[in-house]
Amino acid sequence: MLETDESLFAVSNQWLQDFEKSITDSDYESLMVLFHDDCHWRDLLAFTWHIQTVSGIEKIKNALKFHNPKVKPSGFKVDSHRTAPRIVTRAGEEVIEAIFCFETKFGQGSGVLRLLPSSRNNDPLKAWTFVTVLDQLSGFGEQLGRKRPKGDAYSRDFQGPNWLDERNTAIAYADRDPAVLVVGGGQAGLTIAARLRQLNVDTLIVDLEKRIGDNWRSRYHRLTLHNQLHVNHLPYMPFPPSWPAYIPKDKLANWFEAYAESMELNFWTETEFRGGTYDHNKKNWSVVLHKDGCETRKIHPRHIVMATGVSGVPKLPNIPSLQQFGGQVIHSSEYKNGKDWEGSRVLIIGSGTSGHDIAQDLYSNNADVTLVQRSPTTIVDIEPSAQLPYALYDEGPPIEDCDLISASTPFQLLKRSHQLITEQTKIFDKELLNGLSNVGFELDFGEDDTGWQFKYLRRGGGYYFNVGCSNLIVERKVRLVQFSEIDGLISDGVELKNGDRLKLDLVVLATGFEGQEFIIKEMFGAKIADSVGPIWGFNSQQQELRNMWVRTGQAGLWFIAGSFAQCRIYSKFLGLQIKACEEGLIPLTQ
């Protein structure tokens, strides 16, 4: 494979020129010699106005033939202002990876090309993956840097309203309705609102909490993020370089509050959203918001973005004997501080992240803790194993390039990458995993051995990053019981099938949360829920998360959720679609 910077640049540019000539001349058959036998094209709005992946030469050729005339792409070339073409290893293959730029009739785009030797040694390098991304709409660019608004610096109207007056008026919505209502003020809600703000789309966030950031501030006392700071920046405002690698929840909550203020996001706290109805003739929603527990306000946004996260309504398991227990029963979302249960006897049902973290917190406060495992769990040490999927962000490129490269990995290659990562974690964590197996903890490594991250993408949980609780289980300082070993709960505790009884003061249900489709059915009714369909996860035909960050079967209803990195990356594409709908460039439904 070529090794000099100049040759990598040249071979990447040559491929892009050949590709552009093929589609410009409508010579789609010539594409067959440009793509590898194992090839994937992922498009994020640039050609398709959708987020989708096409795999295989024939399917890619047909998709380009269909979409190319509609968007008229041109100007494909390696982007000299971004990370230079380089040789890297992706999904176990050594490839040339190049970031390129191009234009369409709708705006400016970028992409990532990965070239791989074909199976025939005399053939030129061919595209293994080809990713096209819409970055900016023509005429509707973000107001950043030199394009920033000038404000009232030149008018200096001393009799008119000042900046604070204008902000208060904007937030009040006394004289208008927002174009977009965002439900939920966590990282998902903040990121999409910030993107829409920069696209000049009037947006209101509503949240039940008393303060911005309370969705993190009110969680259990010792909580910190389990992945490192450099992966978790919000758009436009990176965390300060002095911050710790793992962010404490209260520090993060305060940052949310500062972020909303600094980005001038319109935010109503203590405001309940109970659903809405859609008028297909007026193309807007009717929504009644319940503010501060007493005031109601009817608004008519054209779009609703549900930013309530993958985890929303607590999922309560059907355990009939639970009603017989005379002590306190809480869901993990209600748990606050181990100090409240010092010296108590506690049963935690559920062995995911929340179950483990709560068990460790209780043990640290001298509680007698029993963890109940209901199903096999994926365990990885916090370092280095849990950080392996983020290795890209340590390679050197700026975060904007890392985000593009991250988004450029098609589903099939992502699976391969995580299978390789899982094999590496088994080696790194061998001693810990053996110790857990020896005490009866049931382990798994995800479907197809794809590890913890695919568990998150498929079901939103089922794993734990070990920050110490696994060691407590191995050392039998936290007692482990399999759910199948429980005969039932009794008035003062739990009885096991072997006849043993454990006295209890508290049962914590660390049993997860209902999916977003449950929330949609509750808030909008079965008809709209059915028109949208499943949210999050994959089905056998798809290579993308279902109904995430894209137009859905219900006009004007959108969804955003996921990790900080997912929200940062995909809020951009959700914002561009909403802006395109507002400007009449695309219809409200796919």
Give yes or no: residues 112 and 75 share one domain: yes
Give yes or no: residues 117 and 21 share one domain: yes
Give yes or no: residues 222 and 245 share one domain: yes
Cα maximum dimension of the chain:
82
What band does 309 get if pLDDT is binned at 50, 70 and 90? confident
What band does 312 get if pLDDT is binned at 50, 70 and 90? low
Domain interval for residue 126: 5-137
Give yes or no: residues 105 and 226 share one domain: no
Give yes or no: residues 278 and 329 share one domain: no
Residue 118 has pLDDT above 90, yes or no: no
Residue 228 Cα to chain centre, angstroms: 15
Indicate whether 128 belongs to any domain.
yes
Strands of 375-491, DSSP E? 378-381, 463-466, 479-482, 486-490
Give pLDDT, residue 580: 98
Contacts of 213 (CB under 8 A, 6+ apart): 252, 253, 254, 255, 256, 257
Give yes or no: residues 362 and 504 share one domain: yes
Give pLDDT, residue 158: 72
Give yes or no: residues 560 and 487 share one domain: no
Give pLDDT, residue 149: 65
14-18, 214-218, 343-347: segment of lowest average pLDDT: 214-218
Indicate whether 153 belongs to any domain.
no
Give pLDDT, residue 290: 94
Compute the average pLDDT of residues 392-408: 94
Quick one: DSSP state of residue 513? B
What band does 152 get if pLDDT is binned at 50, 70 and 90? low
Indicate whether 325 belongs to any domain.
yes
d(CA 559, CA 575): 11
d(CA 92, CA 451): 16
Q: Is the pTM of this model over 0.85?
A: yes
Give yes or no: residues 409 and 524 share one domain: no
Residue 590 has pLDDT above 80, yes or no: no
Give the residue from 466, 491, 509 where a domain finishes.
509
Give the residue from 482, 509, 536 where a domain finishes.
509
For the sheet with 203-206, list strands across it: 266-268, 203-206, 180-183, 303-306, 557-559
Amino acid at 28: Y
Give yes or no: residues 382 and 364 share one domain: yes
Give pLDDT, residue 513: 86
138-152, 531-545, 552-566: segment of lowest average pLDDT: 138-152
Give yes or no: residues 226 and 324 share one domain: no
What band does 459 get if pLDDT is binned at 50, 70 and 90? confident
Give pLDDT, residue 154: 54
Give pLDDT, residue 252: 97
Residue 311 has pLDDT above 80, yes or no: no
Condensed to tens digits (0 to 9), the pLDDT of residues 153-167 reads: 555 667 788 999 999
Indicate whether 147 belongs to any domain.
no
CA dist 549 → 192, 203, 481 (Å): 10, 16, 40
Q: Phi first, then psi: give them for residue 285, nearest 5 degrees.
A: -105, 150
d(CA 269, CA 211): 6
d(CA 153, CA 151): 6
Report the 10 Å Cβ neighbour count for 20.
Answer: 16
Domains in the chain, number: 3
Question: DSSP assignment of 105-146, as one string?
Answer: SSEEEEEEEEEE--SSTTSPPEEEEEEEEEEEETT-----GG
Give yes or no: residues 232 and 95 share one domain: no
Q: Rounded to the nearest 10 degrees, how much is the dihedral formed by the CA atoms of 247, 248, 253, 259?
A: -20
What band does 589 get if pLDDT is binned at 50, 70 and 90? confident
Domain containing 399 — which CATH number? Answer: 3.50.50.60
Q: From 426, 422, 512, 415, select the one nearest 461 (Cα to Cα).
A: 512
Amino acid at 248: P
Give yes or no: residues 572 and 503 share one domain: no
CA-based Rg of the chain, rounded to a whole angstrom?
26
The pair of three-digit structure tokens given for residue 520, joined into one six-digit string: 């949609």
Compute the average pLDDT of residues 274-294: 92
Residue 143 has pLDDT above 80, yes or no: no
Give pLDDT, residue 406: 95
Condensed to tens digits (0 to 9), the pLDDT of residues 315-344 reads: 889 999 999 999 999 999 899 899 999 999
Report the 10 Å Cβ neighbour count for 245.
Answer: 12
Amino acid at 133: V
Domain containing 87 — which CATH number? Answer: 3.10.450.50
Q: Phi first, then psi: give them for residue 90, nearest 5 degrees.
A: -130, 125
Indicate whether 157 belongs to any domain.
no
Contact 573, 134 (CB under 8 A): yes
Compute the average pLDDT of residues 4-11: 87
Indicate whether 144 belongs to any domain.
no
152-166, 391-405, 409-423, 528-542: segment of lowest average pLDDT: 152-166
Condensed to tens digits (0 to 9), the pLDDT of residues 484-526 reads: 999 999 999 999 999 999 999 999 999 988 888 888 999 999 9
Whole-number percent of the chain with pLDDT over 70: 95
Contact 111, 131 (CB under 8 A): yes
Condensed to tens digits (0 to 9), the pLDDT of residues 37-94 reads: 999 999 999 999 999 999 999 999 999 999 999 999 999 999 999 999 999 999 999 9
Condensed to tens digits (0 to 9), the pLDDT of residues 225-278 reads: 988 999 999 999 999 999 999 999 999 999 999 999 999 999 999 999 999 999
d(CA 310, CA 318): 21
Amino acid at 299: I
Give pLDDT, residue 300: 98
Contacts of 399 (CB under 8 A, 6+ apart): 230, 233, 238, 393
Give the residue from 89, 113, 137 where a domain finishes.
137
d(CA 333, CA 127): 47
Residue 136 has pLDDT above 90, yes or no: yes
Compute the average pLDDT of residues 193-210: 97
Q: From 486, 409, 492, 488, select the one nearest 453 (Cα to Cα).
A: 409
Q: List, in sequence order, the alpha helices (H) in 274-339.
A: none
Indicate whether 448 belongs to any domain.
yes
d(CA 392, CA 90): 10
What band does 150 get if pLDDT is binned at 50, 70 and 90? low
d(CA 41, CA 410): 8
Quick one: DSSP state of residue 179? S
Indicate whether 212 belongs to any domain.
yes
